[in-house]
Amino acid sequence: MKKSINGNIRSNITPGLSVSIVTKKDQKNGKLTNGIVKDILTKSPAHPYGIKVRLANGEVGRVKEI
Nearest to 56 by CA among 35, 34, 41: 35
Q: Residues 19, 8: contact at Cβ < 8 Å?
A: no
Q: What is the CATH number of the domain that holds 50?
A: 2.30.30
3 within some domain: no
Higher pLDDT, 48 or 2: 48
Taking all residues of the chain, what is their mean pLDDT, rounded to a whole number?
92
5 within some domain: no
| Overall number of domains in the chain | 1
What pTM, to 2 d.p., does this model score?
0.88
State the pLDDT at residue 6: 84
By CB atoms closer than 10 A (0-12, 13-18, 19+), residue 57 is exposed
1 within some domain: no
Domain that residue 36 falls in: 10-65
61 within some domain: yes
4 within some domain: no
Q: Residues 2, 34: contact at Cβ < 8 Å?
A: no
CA 27 – CA 51 distance, rounded (Å): 14
